[in-house]
Structure 1
Amino acid sequence: MNKRPFKTSRFISSFARHHWGLSLLLILAILGTSLSGLLPAFALRYIIDQEIQPALNAGTLPETGRLIGLSLLFYGCYFLEGLFTIFENFMIDVYGEKLIHELRYLMLEKSARLRLSYFSKHGSGEMSSRLTDDVYAIELLFSEGLVSLLVSLAKIIGIWVSIFVFNWVLGLLLFAVVPLIALITHLFRKGMLKAQIANRKVLNEESNHFAETIDNLRLLKDLGKEPYRESNFKGLLGRAYQSQNKTALFDSFYSPTIDFIKAIVIALLTLVVAYSYNNSTLVLGLSIGTFAASIDLISSIFAPIQAIGEELQSMQEGVSGIYRVESFLNEEEISPKDSALTAGKVLTPKAGTPLLRFEDLSFHYDDGTELIFDHLSFDLPAKQQVCVIGRTGAGKTTLFRLTLGLLEPTGGALLLNGNPVQAIPDTEKRQIFGYVEQGFKPVPGTLRDQVTLGDPTISEEAVKAALSESFLFDYVKVHLPNGLDTPFHSDDFSRGQLQLLGLARAIVTDPSILLLDEISANLDSATEQQVIQAITRARQSRTVLSISHRLSDQLGFNQIIEVENGHAIAKQ
């Protein structure tokens, strides 16, 4: 479990300390860009006051070679600023990509520790949206928002200090404009943040809606529910359009407002200075070069201020992404696993202890309080063949998920040879449990991958043995020319054969406990007989838990347990 809540600020701080070299280079790039941006104004002041104006006062012009040199000096300042800008952009990209890579990796690690209830409450589209859209929004926050904002602030401070050095009265006048800009920026930021959070929420709902529609497309067509889903999606599109319009409205008004204030400030300063012009000295004690440099700097100070508005928009998207990423990384986790509980250890019988014990077990889902199981107690000895029955919704599949450790009891315990099931590491469970679902779930890859699930420790001999035990090996040899390396296509197998393939997947690691979840559902009688023969062979020397009342008589289970009202009732 998490003992300390995840905070993005803490993560970035830790990242900066760990990658101190990159952090130092990024700081140098920011400082270099900010300081080099001041050089053209200082060069302009020097050229006018120290070179051109003295020559004009003397009734001459600087030599052509001198003018060319001064021009090269002036444009050299811009060239140096451009080099630092290139370096800054490069460092932002490198630093940002590395930071986001580590954040995505952290989220993937977190997903392996989430409770099953999280995936029940959140659609497949939301998970992918968290890893892509929300993390990308944080990347924008960092690269186009936070760092660019720091650069802009550094430029504003550098320009204000430079103007104060030129003339302290001008510095104070410029400083008086800052609160007005800050107020405008705050008002726009507040509006943009609200609109961006609403927009991000709708975009995630759209992604989730689309993914769920694709996953259930056949069911929607069979039930004729396409218009219903289409209507819902149109509603989401409408909400997204409205929230995006609000964001665009704030964005479109911000830049012209800043431009208007800039024009007023420069126009007033120019009018005052021009009105009081007297030889080479202007009002407020400004020289012509200082005045020209001041106008250049004042014009320049509005560029980073204007950029702050654009950076704030990126930051609003990032902030809304941060809320969602932090929420994900602070989700409740499964209980810690005990690495000492290997398959060999937990399967070692203990005198007087049943293989599986449901000990005063209670359970309800995280999003409710109604108990699915209420102080459930029963023992399951080794090699027992048990059929679990009960009405739909009674909790039969939930019982299986508790047995597999996918869900954790709300109260009581579920013990395997005296060891808590939820503490067994996931890497050990395929050696203990074999689980056959109602419908076969393929994975990308070959036929071999369908059985091994990409586990390289499973040998080819084990795969062939599992297929043979499931009555599929001969079919594979005859109909699949590349054998186990044939790319898997579900059309190559009948529905019954896919169930047999699921059985092969379950028994390939030779588990001691076999769980069968309604595997005879939707099978015709002929196919069902194939499955029964395979199960009869596979259940020998194994403990079996099955949900299938149809097969109870044909398979001859030792015991039938009915799940009803949160309790287990032995029927025979």
Structure 2
Amino acid sequence: MKSRRKNGVSEAIRMAAVTHRLLTAGTVLCAAASVAASLVPPLLLARIIDGLTAGLPLTFHAVLLYFGSLALEGMLSSAQEGLLVLFGQKMTHALRSEMSRKLTKLPAGTLAGQNPGEVAARFSGDVDTVEALFTSGIISMAADACRILSIMAVIAVKNTGLALILLLVLPLFAAFTRHVQTRMLAAQLDNRRAAAAVSGQIPETLHNIRTIRALGLEDYMEHRYDRCIGESYAAMERTNFCDAIYSPVVLVLNAAVVGIVMLLSASGNAAVLTLFGMSVGTSVAVINYISRIFAPIESLGMEIQTIQSAMAGVKRIDAFLDQPERTIPKERETSARGDVVLSHVTFGYGEKHVLNDFSMTVKQGEQVTLVGRTGAGKSTVFKLLLGLYHPEAGSVTIGGVDVADITDARRRTCIGCVEQHFARVPGTVLEQITLGDPGITEEMARNAAKLAGLDAAIRTLPNGYDTVCADGMFSQGEWQLLSIARAAAADPAVLLLDEITANLDAETEARVLEALRRASEGRTVLSVSHRIYENLGGRTVEVRTQNA
């Protein structure tokens, strides 16, 4: 198992930042330049107003310089926002790529035990929160913090009394901000849990829709769904309430500080003017700075909230990336071909053993049908042969090679599987057969379709093998023939047949069995069925439930 340090969110982001180092440096420099540019316009405006009050004429150069500083500030601010969005997208792409890589390396048992909706939520909602960590989080927070400190430094020089007032007000405002953030974070976490429950219930409903309708459970499922949505709405209402009261408090505090400073500066008291006295131009600049200091403080509170919300997503993604990966065997020069041997195999799901000290040998080229009642372990034998699970004890070998040592690249040339239902992937008919495997050429795919007896039907399609697959294109039997073509395309030494005629009528079943007979020639064939495929011949092996 890889540690989180090597496999977590922080490492994925660090590698992406290094890969896009120019974008990273440009974003940081642009943020710094934007902070510096925001300090200039009020100072220029103060000089202009002080000059006018002193009777000096307004020059075109001064006006051009002032509006030029405003334009520069706006351009740098826009550039910062644009670079942050681009930077966030690069980080998101890197993170989703790392999660996709992780998904392909998780053991089948780990994937089978996870809620598909929750996994999908981590790829979508959780990753989006991490993107917000950069678009309106860390870098923006650092820029706003620098802007606040810079403005405080300027104000301290221009008006010492105002700086002292702000030093008293800002900690109180920070405490209020923290209180609001804490309540918002709790509400957002509740909302994320409720949203994940909703996402998980949708595929659950679709998967069990026949049972739901057969038993009349529509109202029950509707109430479950409504309860989850209601919990999500309630959490969002708490978040919106906190958000709604925050901005007005900032505006009122802004107006109060400006009013207090202006009253004190106009008091006429010599002692007060020592701290609060200032020229007309300076007062305009100070008012401008006060509004500018509360705006980033408001943004800073929201950015901290964004970071806190993103950290919840980071923890969930880290937990996903921290899961143990399956062992990747070393590449072999040749494919495993020969006898299929299960030797003293013990395996179970959880604490319940399905197979206990089970042994079976299938000679190369032999055809065997596994029979037994439901739950006896027939499909489990197939999962062990495919390397989806590893036995707790004993060994599973093909040609003397442990199935765990067969690489993904070699697996299709070693063993093929025809399942009861065809698993369609997005793409053309040709891609259904090749599954994007560069080792399977178009000629190999066409030969496999001919072997399955489906080549003629494919050629009648509008674009032949390049026709994009859609519902209703093939009959149920033809989809099963396509599954046979997929399994036979890589010319595997072993062919597994898992209840492939269970839902077919007699005529279609005869057609599929004839295709199987052709595909089985010269191969080792293991089939799972409640009855024997007489057309395929061979012997039968009964699998019985084993007690641990």
Task: Give the percent of matched residue pairs that are identical in Structure 1 and Structure 2.
Answer: 35
Give the alignment partner of residue 403 of structure 2, picking from 416, 421, 441. 421
Counterparts of 1:553 and 1:312, CA distance in 2: 69
3-state secondary structure, aligned to 1:451: helix
Residue 30 (structure 1) shift: 1.1
Q: Which residue of 1 aligns with 2:243?
A: 251
Tell me whether 429-438 or 372-381 shows the greater mean CA deviation.
Answer: 372-381
Q: Higher mean Cα deviation, 438-447 or 146-155?
A: 438-447
CA–CA distance in structure 2, aligned partners of residues 27 and 489 of structure 1: 48
Aligned residue runs from structure 1 range 341-356, under 5 A: 341-342=332-333, 344-347=334-337, 355-356=339-340
Distance in structure 2 (CA, Å) of the matches to 1:285 and 1:489? 76
SS state of the match for residue 370, structure 2? strand
Which range moved further: 180-189 or 412-421? 412-421
8 A contact 1:196–1:316 mirrored in 2 = no
Alpha-carbon shift at residue 511 of structure 1 (Å): 0.7
SS in structure 2 at match of 1:522: coil
Counterpart check, 1:92 vs 2:93: no
Aligned pair in 2 of structure 1 residues 532, 18: CA closer, same or farther (>3 Å)? Answer: closer
Matches of 2:392 and 2:180 in 1, distance apart? Answer: 47
Say if 2:218 is the partner of 1:232.
Answer: no
Measure the CA separation in 1 of the matches of 2:313 and 2:230.
21
- Unpaired runs of at least 5, structure 2: none
Tell me the distance in 2 between the aligned counterparts of 1:186 and 1:374. 58
The one of 56, 62, 67 equivalent to 1:62 is 56
Say which SS state the counterpart of residue 549 (structure 1) adopts: coil
After superposition, the Cα gap between the structure-2 partners of 1:505 and 1:43, relative to the gap in structure 1 and judged at 3 Å, is same
For the residue of structure 1 that corresponds to 2:391, the secondary structure is coil
Relative to structure 1, the CA distance from residue 403 to residue 566 in structure 2 (aligned partners, 3 Å threshold; closer, same or farther) is farther
> 1:253 and 1:147, CA in 2 relative to 1: closer, same or farther beyond 3 A?
same
Give, in angstroms, the shift of residue 32 of structure 1: 0.9
Match of 1:570 in 2: none
Q: Does 1:536 align with 2:530?
A: no
Superposed, 1:454-473 pairs within 5 Å as 454-473=436-455
Query: Structure 1 pair 464/71, CA: closer, same or farther in 2 (3 Å)?
Result: closer
1:365-420 deviation digits (Å, cap 9, x = unpaired): 4xx33333334333333223222223323332222112111223344432233333
Of 334, 347, 352, the residue aligned with 1:363 is 347
Aligned match for 2:483, one of 485, 502, 505? 502
Question: Are the counterparts in 2 of residues 114 and 334 from structure 1 also a CA contact under 8 Å?
Answer: yes
Cα separation, 2, equivalents of 1:178 and 1:395: 68
- Paired with 1:225 and 1:377, the residues of 2 have a C-alpha distance of 44
Give the match's secondary structure for 1:392. Answer: coil
Question: Is residue 103 from structure 1 mapped to residue 95 from structure 2 by the alignment?
Answer: yes
Counterpart Cα distance in 2 of 1:20 and 1:456: 33
Q: Aligned letter for 1:226?
A: E
For the residue of structure 2 that corresponds to 1:440, the secondary structure is: coil
Match for 2:445: what amino acid?
A: V
Superposed CA offset, 1:152-191 (max 9, x none) = 1111111111112224443333222222122112212221
Distance 2:277 2:14 in 1: 45
CA shift at 1:278, angstroms? 6.8
Q: Tell me the secondary structure at the aligned position of residue 544 of structure 2.
A: strand
Q: CA deviation at 1:99?
A: 1.6
- Looking at structure 2, the residues matched to 294 and 277 of structure 1 have their Cα atoms a distance apart, in angstroms, of 20
Question: In structure 2, what residue type is equivalent to 1:376?
Answer: F
- The answer on whether the counterparts of 1:123 and 1:212 sit within 8 Å (CA) in structure 2 is no
Residue 293 of structure 1, aligned match among 275, 281, 285: 285
3-state SS of paired residue (1:37) = helix
Match for 1:403 among 381, 385, 390? Answer: 385
1:521 to 502, 512, 523: 502
CA contact (8 A) 2:87 2:134 kept: no
Residues 397, 517 of structure 1: 8 Å contact kept: yes
Contact 1:126/1:208 (<8 A) preserved: yes
Is 1:449 equivalent to 2:450 in the alignment? no
Kindly indicate whether the alpha-carbon contact (under 8 Å) linking 1:134 and 1:322 is maintained by their aligned counterparts in 2. yes
Report the secondary structure of 1:276's partner residue.
Answer: coil
Report the TM-score when normalising by structure 1. Answer: 0.88
Q: How many residues align?
A: 546
Q: What is the match of residue 545 of structure 1?
A: 526
Change (3 A) 1:212 1:22: same
Q: Which residue of 2 aligns with 1:58?
A: none
- Cα 1:290–1:447 shift into 2, 3 Å: closer
Q: Distance in 2 between matches of 1:485 and 1:69?
A: 68
Structure 1 residue 41 corresponds to structure 2 residue 3: no
Aligned-pair Cα RMSD in Å: 2.7
What's the counterpart of residue 7 of structure 1? Answer: 8
* Aligned equivalents of 2:462, 2:135: Cα separation in 1: 52
Check 1:261–1:385 CA distance in 2 against 1; reply closer, same or farther (3 A cut): same
Residues in 2 aligned to 1:13 and 1:171: alpha-carbon distance in whole angstroms: 39
Deviation at residue 243 of structure 1 after TM alignment: 1.1
Q: Taking structure 1 as reference, are residues 462 and 74 closer, same or farther at Cα in structure 2, changes over 3 Å only?
A: closer
Question: How far did residue 27 of structure 1 move?
Answer: 1.6
The amino acid that maps onto 1:31 is A
In terms of mean alpha carbon deviation, does 225-234 or 92-101 score higher?
A: 225-234
2:189 alignment partner, one of 175, 186, 197: 197
CA distance in 2, matches of 1:393, 1:410: 18
Q: Are the equivalent residues in 2 in contact too, given 1:383–1:541 (CA < 8 A)? A: yes
- Residue 352 of structure 2 aligns to a residue whose secondary structure is coil
CA distance in 2 between partners of 1:115 and 1:531 (Å): 32
User: Is 2:323 the counterpart of 1:331?
Assistant: yes
Structure 1 residues not aligned, in runs of 5+: 56-60, 350-354, 568-572
Q: Which moved more, 1:120-129 or 1:500-509?
A: 120-129
1:271-290 aligned at under 5 Å gives the runs 271-276=263-268, 282-284=273-275, 286-288=277-279, 289-290=281-282
Instruction: Check whether the contact 1:458–1:509 (CA below 8 A) recurs between aligned residues.
Output: yes
